[in-house]
Amino acid sequence: MQLNLVGINYQAAPVAILEKAAVRAGKLEEALSLLGSYVAHGIILSTCNRTEVYTAGDSIRQAEEASLDFLKAHLDISDADLHWYAYRFRGEAVAEHLFRVAGGLDSMVVGEFEVLGQVKKALDIAEKAKKVNLPLRHIFQSAIRAGRRVREQTGISKKPLSVSSVAVDLAARVVGKLGGCKLLVIGAGEAGRLVAKAAKERGVKQIVVASRTPERASALTIMLGGQPIGMDNLAEELATCNIVVTCADAPHRLLDTRRVGAVMRNRSEPMVIIDIAVPRNVAPAVAEIDNVVLYNIDDLTQIADQNRQQREEEIEQAEAIISAEMARFVIWWRTLEVRPVISALMGKAEKIRRSQLNRTLKKLPPLTDEEKYCLEMMTRSITCQILQDPVKYLKTNLKGNEDYAEIINRLFHLETEKEK
Residues serving a catalytic function are 48
Cβ atoms of residues 48 and 38 within 8 Å: no
Q: How far apart are CA 341 and CA 416, in angstroms?
A: 6
Which phi and psi (to 5°) does residue 46 adopt? Answer: -125, 120
Distance of CA 314 to the CA centre of its chain: 21
214-218 own/partner pairs: CB under 8 Å, 24+ apart:
216/188, 216/189, 217/188
Q: How far apart are CA 167 and CA 362, in angstroms?
A: 82
- From edge to edge, which strands make up the β-sheet containing 271-275? 227-230, 206-211, 182-186, 243-246, 271-275, 292-296
Q: How far apart are CA 62 and CA 380, in angstroms?
A: 42
Closest CA relative to residue 282, chosen from 268, 272, 291 = 272
- From edge to edge, which strands make up the β-sheet containing 50-57? 42-46, 50-57, 2-9, 87-90
Beta-bridge partners for 229: 210
Q: Residue 151 — left, alpha, or beta (φ > 0 → left; ψ -120 to 50 → alpha)?
A: alpha
Q: How far apart are CA 120 and CA 145, in angstroms?
A: 10
Closest CA relative to residue 3, chosen from 92, 81, 76 = 92
Beta-bridge partners for 208: 184, 227
Which phi and psi (to 5°) does residue 7 adopt? Answer: -155, 170
Q: How far apart are CA 297 and CA 112, in angstroms?
A: 14
Cβ atoms of residues 193 and 224 within 8 Å: yes
Under DSSP, the state recorded for 26 is: G
How many other CB atoms are there within 10 angstroms of residue 364's CB atom? 10
